[in-house]
Structure 1
């Protein structure tokens, strides 16, 4: 039975990532995966990339993509942060060899990973899917809790996989059900039952480095074949705030909003 720690949206927040990894160590997991946006916003993109390189895989997020190409649809603070982040990754103090290794890792990030789940039946659709955004738009499409009111959109998304789709991007954790409900982590108790291989669920694992559900603690998910469990982890927010304040090219608001989980 494989136990997987699923992280997402680290956003250059090394203090948060280290706290989450310390918690993961206590959870008897077999592997760690990431759903993207390792970088962007936060003050330590290179250090976060170096940690994630040790994971089993990492999906390409929209901020990861924008560090390679021109950002689209970003606000001023986010765009400024991604240009600064790109410069850090391309020209790190460790020298060109290390910088090239990081850039090559970004270039090799897959947009989607699909896996089979025993007992979920045969067919062309993947039974387990990992994306950053959605099954339809793996890198950029948002799926918000209020999208449960958009029947056409949700029916299309649920038609693209057989059992479970793990995603991030919105920084808002929760489980989307095929009958158009959104179950928040506080309502999942000791874990959300996924043992029925015929059910279809989209599972937003939340954000390690920049939660936006009103809870400033880092969020990630532990997945095993029977249930998924949300984990909330406290970290030294003020350490990250101070590092952002010390960098003139990063908007201080990127740090201050961490205190409120917004």
Structure 2
């Protein structure tokens, strides 16, 4: 197996060549897919512990490791340590360059985040900046596409549940998806189908078998859920096998929200609203 070199303007692609060694399986049985950590260390630690408890070692991150939250350095370090794939999110880009389209609290938070990433051990800071600067905008493995925003605009495009009523937008996005696209950005988990339906996790008993229809899977947010459930959210991907279709499963994980909220309240550069919304998942 080998990974094709990364094109930083576009993405990465996983390519297999040659026969598998004896005893190897075609893919790990499960992947954990996380997104939108947003500097929430307590949320990330709880999710990583939940992943570990299930014996899963393959973790993909769809971006926005930083922004909004009080622990950007620690979250970048943990993602570097634990994730085999990490994509660029718009807040990660905003920390490196001038943020575009950010509201006032988000902009203040990202400038503070940038200052944090420039403070402390210079060698650690350099590794963090190099890591963020090398993130691809998409990753592809066979029928699975991984982005932060959408297949059409991997960095910035939002796909909200009510976009199923915007037929032209969805048709253009689905035209760029071979079979299944995993995405984040909106912080609202759920499955979109090419027949223009949206299913929240609760509507599908938190699990969905991937059939022949094209789908988009929003994996939710580790660090700032916005679907009314304040628990951290992520997705498990079972890629299937002989006689078994791929399946996704949503996981919700409790974490010490009050500690994160207190850190935000105690920081004059982070708007209190960023803490309030962690309490109600909005």
TM-score between the two structures when normalised by the length of structure 2: 0.86
Equivalent pairs, count: 248
Is residue 217 of structure 2 the alignment partner of residue 203 of structure 1? yes
Is residue 52 of structure 2 the alignment partner of residue 36 of structure 1? no
Alignment of 1:231-246 (within 5 A): 231-246=251-266
Shift in Å at residue 147 of structure 1? 0.3
Aligned to 1:107: 133
SS at match of 2:216: strand
* Cα RMSD after superposing both structures: 0.9
Aligned to 2:275: 255
Shift in Å at residue 36 of structure 1? 0.4
Larger displacement relative to structure 2 (248-257 or 211-220): 248-257
Partner Cα separation in structure 2 for residue 72 and residue 251 of structure 1: 19
Partner Cα separation in structure 2 for residue 206 and residue 171 of structure 1: 5
Which of the residues 93, 98, 119 maps onto 2:124? 98
Q: Deviations over 1:184-232 (max 9, x none)?
A: 00122262001x3x32110000000000000000000000122100000
Gaps of 5+ in 1: 117-126
Aligned to 2:89: 61
Partner Cα separation in structure 1 for residue 68 and residue 106 of structure 2: 6
Shift in Å at residue 245 of structure 1? 1.4
Question: Is the 2:183–2:219 contact (alpha carbons within 8 Å) kept by the matching residues of 1?
Answer: yes
Is residue 195 of structure 2 the alignment partner of residue 179 of structure 1? yes
Gaps of 5+ in 2: 1-26, 240-245
Is residue 228 of structure 2 the alignment partner of residue 214 of structure 1? yes
Shift in Å at residue 57 of structure 1? 1.1
Question: Is the 2:206–2:251 contact (alpha carbons within 8 Å) kept by the matching residues of 1?
Answer: no
Is residue 160 of structure 2 the alignment partner of residue 160 of structure 1? no
Is residue 257 of structure 2 the alignment partner of residue 229 of structure 1? no
SS at match of 1:53: helix
Q: Deviations over 1:220-248 (max 9, x none)?
A: 00001221000000111100011111211
Partner Cα separation in structure 1 for residue 55 and residue 193 of structure 2: 28
Q: Deviations over 1:11-38 (max 9, x none)?
A: 0000000011111012232400100000
Aligned to 1:141: 157
Aligned to 2:106: 78
Shift in Å at residue 137 of structure 1? 0.3
Partner Cα separation in structure 2 for residue 110 and residue 242 of structure 1: 33
SS at match of 1:80: helix
Question: Is the 2:87–2:148 contact (alpha carbons within 8 Å) kept by the matching residues of 1?
Answer: yes
